[in-house]
Amino acid sequence: MKKYFFEFKKLIKIGIPIFGSQLSYALMGTTDTIIAGRASANDLAGLAVGTAFSNTIWFFFTGIIFAVTPIVAQLYGARRFIEIGQKLREILWVAAGLGLLMAFIFFNMDLIINLLPIKSSITSITIDYLKAVSIGWFFVTIFTCLRCYSEGMTYTKPVFYIAFAGMLLNIPLDLVFVYGWLGAPKLGGVGCGIATSIVSFIMMISIIIYINFSKKYKKTEPFSKFSLPSGDTSKEVFKLGLPIGLGIFIELSMFSGAAIILSVLGEVVVASHSVAINIASLFFMVPLAIGLASSTRVGNLIGENNPIQAKIAATSTIILCMGGAFINSIIIISFGSLIVSLYTTELPVLELAASLILFAAIFQLPDGIQMGALGSLRGYKDTFIPMILLLISYWIFAMPIGYYLTNVGLSSPMGAKGMWYGMIIGLTIFSFLSIMRLRWIMKSKIKRYFNQAPQQL
């Protein structure tokens, strides 16, 4: 038990700053929504459409960059510090390429948005917002690469401090550019894009300066010399990261698909579903932080060639995620109506959302377990099979079942509840499959270790 408590402490130490960072990123989006919403309904709608496009594309690309964490974590555990700096310089070329590609896509998104059956008063704001934020996503991509490098070596606090400062800075910048304060032009929702780009640039510069001058990073010599792109490193990043990006896209598409399926049932159903999903996502940050911490911790231990302790760390992750999810469920069940009332005052929406909140509570348990397993699997550099399991669980089970129960049901259509049943079933299937995959990976690593032991002796 001492070994498990030791891993609990390690995961919590790594995970708490990650939780703070994730919360800071989420609060930036919340700030944009609140401030743009108070400007006008059109500004809020334009921003909502813009972030729907940008976030989906961004999460796919950022999934590729997430490969940096297990790469660095395993090298750090193996104490191959100089190689970490070399890898970082080579991966920064990949990050820069992906960032420029994203900036190009967002800047030219009007080619697609103008084809949508949306009012021009809204799409004009969306298009200008995406143009304003396009360069910001380039800065964020570089920041994410350096953030994953830092987190892979367990240095999660600096990332949190920079993310938290960025979140605070985003508030006055939003006010200045959205409302035209201090002589700035009044840009409405488009101003959020400019604020985001400025904050992203400052966060990127801040982490570069910190890494360059902090003694913690000196042993890896991150910026000691110039390195050209490497074909082998690029292949490694895409081999690990592309399945992560596709997996995130598959998961997001399930939630988007659920919203589309429910959209025909009317605005009350859609609004209630959105409230319940938002609440579930907010509480999910706890197991998310633990899972991301596990990617670092398990990676470090695999790099140390200590698969037995890595198994204990992965098991500890699952236990912590289950415990955190269980506490989340109790909080949601106990204070569900109160939490829902913070989102809406419309009685029909409030009543339906309050009934869906029970599903959001149940949702926490399989969602927490799968995040713990997924994070640990990334630490083992196992990303392709989990992506396939995600596809099977969400698009072969969750979506068809949810669609059937929503529109047909066992005896009668179940409406929004049917979609939640489908998502919970899909998540439960994936949590089971991911745990099975994790057990197989752990056993194979330990078996290989003992097979190599006699040769080493």
Question: Rounded to the nearest 10 degrees, what angle do helices 231-263 and 384-391 cross at?
Answer: 10
Average pLDDT, the chain: 89
Q: Which residue has the higher pLDDT, 43 or 26?
A: 26
Q: Average pLDDT, stretch 120-136? A: 86
pLDDT of residue 369: 93
How far, in Å, CA of 196 to CA of 166, rounded?
9
pLDDT of residue 261: 80
Q: Average pLDDT, stretch 379-396? A: 94
Q: How confident is the model at residue 125 (pLDDT cuts 50, 70, 90)?
A: confident
Centre a 10 Å sphere on the Cβ of residue 173 and count the other Cβ atoms it contains. Answer: 22
pLDDT of residue 71: 95
Q: Using alpha carbons only, give the angle 452, 455, 457 rounded to the nearest 5 degrees.
A: 110
Given a cut of 50, whether residue 457 has pLDDT beyond it is no
pLDDT, tens only, 4-34:
899 999 999 999 999 999 999 888 888 887 7
pLDDT, tens only, 396-450:
999 999 999 998 888 888 888 898 999 999 999 999 999 999 999 999 999 998 8
- Using only C-alpha atoms, the chain has a radius of gyration, in whole angstroms, of 22
Is the pTM of the predicted complex or chain greater than 0.85?
A: yes
